Chains A and B, each alone.
Chain A
């Protein structure tokens, strides 16, 4: 072997670095000082001037390994995008099922390869569209779904065996899943052929997004029921999307995003195992959802570390044996909280960089934000440019030919290992302090999120963290020239008309009898809620019917504001 191509041994390398610092670095710093004494990642991890093989001394080669092999640092699959490009999954949702169905078809025509659904606030919170709490919100920030008929309109003429559908919904997730199953049965699909995802990650709601209805215990039981039902009936369906995205959007650091998500994972796996189900029977369908934030290399390291941590948790903590139980698959969305109103077109560039980090980090599916999303839900035009951004990455940039092309970077490998160490340290701390649910109730996670969020706000306020157009290169006279997505005032009426027609036409006695069965099922923690819920939606029961009855059984969760 030619000795010129191998790195020198550690002692020689350390001596070389010392000499370099004494000569070249010192000479350059004498001419021009570095901008800071110490640089940090966005997440606050200190970084060095340069990384060398010395920094990988604590990272055995086996930790890096090969793609598709334990611990999956380099990717869940051996061939990655060489076989199949990531799924381009732009989220959409507004108005009625018909309105969103038109946007879905437009996006498919534009080359989108997966669907993702945003629901309006009443649907997310379990209110029917004609409930007083829903007034003015119907179809505004997402699509309104009350009954199975709405779901049929939403997915009309879309082949569910060909395209996967993601449903972004949490406290009422199992009802949407029931509607999806009922629809698939009605259309004669084989449930085991349907792919898709339901978010159903309730714990991050208590931590971050605050869209919850019931107390924590029954809410976790709903998640458990979704997972066990799918494990037994829908082989290819992801019954949960364990999400760091919302934790990040609530203001957390990238480290806490992943660490807290893993804490939630552990809680769900423990809950399902209590039913007697083996980990390998359900773990292969657990899916994740992370943000791609602003620090390019840190995000790549974060995704790689998340895969390694997950593999270790599943194998070492839970005794999984099937490699599919150890492959972390994730959907990724660029960071909506980084979008700005001033000079909003710059958002296209931010989003492109975040999307590139997601691709280099090995995402399975990706949503790129629209440039106008600091103002409103995106227009068709904004969504098209966002989708084109992904298509440029996939077809023009040549970033998908080589698997994990950043692998082996002294910096990124070192940061990946640092992330792994820090994530496990947080998991240990949570274990030692009584576990995730207890610490949610004590506000421990919320406190960490608020700490980082406030720190970042101070950094923006002082200019330490530049945001182009906001605190640097401002244009005080700028007039925003964009047209935002129009809210259709007829949507609410159309939606309520259909809901009330269904209520009139359904067999009310049958619905009542099923609701009584639902209550009995809810009272028996050993039973699964899905079968009776599927029957309910088939019989024309609305989301509000189901949720209101269960509030009577379980009560609701409330956080009293301090200020």
Chain B
């Protein structure tokens, strides 16, 4: 077996948009090996131009269809689009219905599109880190847009969506109210609301109810810098996609050119730092605790100290030895 190519050697090929090199770097990022960190650092330094769009919504809301249609529209303007699916039900991750497969075929054979699906396993927070490193790979390779598709249920998925420059929350008519209620928790993070399948008559109800709910949640202080639009779209007849692209562009400019936008870019960077620090700390703790448990566990088992005291003593021991 040939020795694996060093990550550093993959960097020039990834920068030239070599699909295999990009994919391998993403896999190594996902595995979290230390070997790839310098390579990822190089890519991070060269990234920062792509517009990162988070698209989220409950299963059945039409996210994947929206992503396909949006990507085709963006491709028609000559832009390159990366798609990262963090959604086990996404056709990009294997689950799909026939219509999506057909739409996908057009994208799969297009050099201007790179599709990657992230496994939704692994430790808490690790998925966000790996996803953002995959974004860096595509960004550094010169992709104009990177779309992160997540299912809008669960804290980890919502956290990932929040690391995008522009968060699109997708709602759809005809889903049971129980499903939509789960999603109520993510409505407030949207920069753009999309109501998909608006060719259906009952879309009016979805739009009215959504707007009524959003109206009640708005703070009327008079200093909001971004107006969150509610856009009806239909992948069936193409309605709404020009407006969506226009809104994405305006939001991209807002993030670049406004104080509020720049502050949010900084807080996304801080979030990455914190998530990475948490992951590192966790790994160090796992490495360091080997053999250190016995010293306190006897006292704990004999109920001479409480679990809380035991944990504090363990951490103090590890810190004193400089292992954390």
- A contacts, CB < 8 Å to B: 251, 442-444, 446-447, 449-451, 453-454, 457-458, 460-463, 466-467, 470-472, 560-563
Query: Among B181, B204, B228, which residue has its beta carbon within 8 angstroms of that of A563?
Result: B181
Check A460 against B220 for contact (C-beta < 8 Å). yes
Shortest 7 CB-CB contacts between residues of A and residues of B: A471-B222, A443-B204, A463-B222, A450-B208, A454-B211, A447-B204, A450-B211
B181 partner residues in chain A, CB cutoff 8 A = 563
Check A562 against B222 for contact (C-beta < 8 Å). no
Q: Which residue of A is nearest B172, CB measured? A: A562
Shortest Cβ distance from residue A291 to the other chain B in the assembled complex, whole angstroms: 18
Shortest Cβ distance from residue B225 to the other chain A in the assembled complex, whole angstroms: 7
A251 partner residues in chain B, CB cutoff 8 A = 215
B214 partner residues in chain A, CB cutoff 8 A = 454, 457
Is the C-beta of B300 less than 8 angstroms from some C-beta in chain A? no
Instruction: With a 10 A CB-CB cut-off, give which of B184, B187, B221 has the most chain A CB atoms.
Output: B221
Q: How far is the CA of A561 from the CA of B221 in the complex (A)?
A: 28
Check A472 against B215 for contact (C-beta < 8 Å). no
| A–B pairs, 6, beta carbons within 8 Å | A443-B205, A461-B219, A467-B222, A562-B205, A563-B180, A563-B213
- B contacts, CB < 8 Å to A: 173, 177, 180-181, 183-184, 187, 201-202, 204-215, 218-225, 227-228, 230
A458 partner residues in chain B, CB cutoff 8 A = 218, 224, 227-228
Q: Which residue of A is nearest B206, CB measured? A: A562
Query: Among A446, A457, A563, which residue has its beta carbon within 8 angstroms of that of B218?
Result: A457
Check B227 against A561 for contact (C-beta < 8 Å). no
Check B177 against A563 for contact (C-beta < 8 Å). yes
User: Known contacts A562-B180, A563-B181: does B208 contact A472 (CB below 8 Å)?
Assistant: no
Check A443 against B208 for contact (C-beta < 8 Å). yes
Check A442 against B201 for contact (C-beta < 8 Å). yes
Check A447 against B208 for contact (C-beta < 8 Å). yes
Query: Among B183, B204, B206, B224, which residue has its beta carbon within 8 angstroms of that of A444?
Result: B204
Shortest Cβ distance from residue A551 to the other chain B in the assembled complex, whole angstroms: 24
Check B221 against A471 for contact (C-beta < 8 Å). yes
A454 partner residues in chain B, CB cutoff 8 A = 211-212, 214-215, 230
B173 partner residues in chain A, CB cutoff 8 A = 562
A449 partner residues in chain B, CB cutoff 8 A = 208
Check A562 against B177 for contact (C-beta < 8 Å). yes
Q: Which residue of B is nearest A472, CB measured? A: B222
A447 partner residues in chain B, CB cutoff 8 A = 204-205, 207-208
A472 partner residues in chain B, CB cutoff 8 A = 222
Check A453 against B221 for contact (C-beta < 8 Å). no
Q: How far is the CA of A232 from the CA of B183 in the complex (A)?
A: 55
B208 partner residues in chain A, CB cutoff 8 A = 443, 446-447, 449-450
B209 partner residues in chain A, CB cutoff 8 A = 450, 561-563
Query: Among B183, B202, B207, B222, which residue has its beta carbon within 8 angstroms of that of A461?
Result: B222
Q: Which residue of B is nearest A438, CB measured? A: B201
Q: How far is the CA of A457 from the CA of B227 in the complex (A)?
A: 10
Shortest Cβ distance from residue B260 to the other chain A in the assembled complex, whole angstroms: 12
User: Known contacts A450-B211, A453-B211: does B222 contact A460 (CB below 8 Å)?
Assistant: yes
Check B215 against A457 for contact (C-beta < 8 Å). yes
Check B223 against A450 for contact (C-beta < 8 Å). no
Query: Among A462, A560, A561, A563, which residue has its beta carbon within 8 angstroms of that of B222?
Result: A462
B202 partner residues in chain A, CB cutoff 8 A = 442-443
A471 partner residues in chain B, CB cutoff 8 A = 220-223
Q: Which residue of A is nearest B208, CB measured? A: A450
Q: How far is the CA of A444 from the CA of B223 in the complex (A)?
A: 32
Q: How far is the CA of A463 from the CA of B218 in the complex (A)?
A: 12
Check B212 against A453 for contact (C-beta < 8 Å). yes
Shortest Cβ distance from residue B261 to the other chain A in the assembled complex, whole angstroms: 15
Query: Among B204, B213, B215, B230, which residue has its beta carbon within 8 angstroms of that of A446?
Result: B204
Check A462 against B206 for contact (C-beta < 8 Å). no
Check A562 against B210 for contact (C-beta < 8 Å). yes
B224 partner residues in chain A, CB cutoff 8 A = 458, 461-463
Check B205 against A461 for contact (C-beta < 8 Å). no
Shortest Cβ distance from residue A209 to the other chain B in the assembled complex, whole angstroms: 13
B180 partner residues in chain A, CB cutoff 8 A = 562-563
Q: How far is the CA of A462 from the CA of B214 in the complex (A)?
A: 15
Shortest Cβ distance from residue B310 to the other chain A in the assembled complex, whole angstroms: 46
Query: Among A442, A457, A462, A470, which residue has its beta carbon within 8 angstroms of that of B204?
Result: A442
Q: Which residue of A is nearest B221, CB measured? A: A471
Q: Which residue of B is nearest A462, CB measured? A: B224
B201 partner residues in chain A, CB cutoff 8 A = 442-443
Q: How far is the CA of A446 from the CA of B207 in the complex (A)?
A: 9
Q: Which residue of A is nearest B220, CB measured? A: A460
Check A450 against B212 for contact (C-beta < 8 Å). yes
Q: How far is the CA of A443 from the CA of B200 in the complex (A)?
A: 12
| 17 additional contacts (CB under 8 A) given A442-B204, A460-B218, A563-B187 | A443-B205, A443-B208, A447-B204, A449-B208, A453-B215, A461-B218, A461-B220, A461-B222, A462-B225, A463-B224, A470-B220, A470-B222, A471-B223, A560-B177, A562-B180, A562-B206, A562-B209
Shortest Cβ distance from residue A25 to the other chain B in the assembled complex, whole angstroms: 31
Shortest Cβ distance from residue A460 to the other chain B in the assembled complex, whole angstroms: 4
A563 partner residues in chain B, CB cutoff 8 A = 177, 180-181, 183-184, 187, 209-210, 213
A442 partner residues in chain B, CB cutoff 8 A = 201-202, 204
Q: How far is the CA of A467 from the CA of B227 in the complex (A)?
A: 18
Shortest Cβ distance from residue B210 to the other chain A in the assembled complex, whole angstroms: 7
B207 partner residues in chain A, CB cutoff 8 A = 447, 450-451
Shortest Cβ distance from residue B176 to the other chain A in the assembled complex, whole angstroms: 9
B177 partner residues in chain A, CB cutoff 8 A = 560-563
Q: How far is the CA of A543 from the CA of B296 in the complex (A)?
A: 74
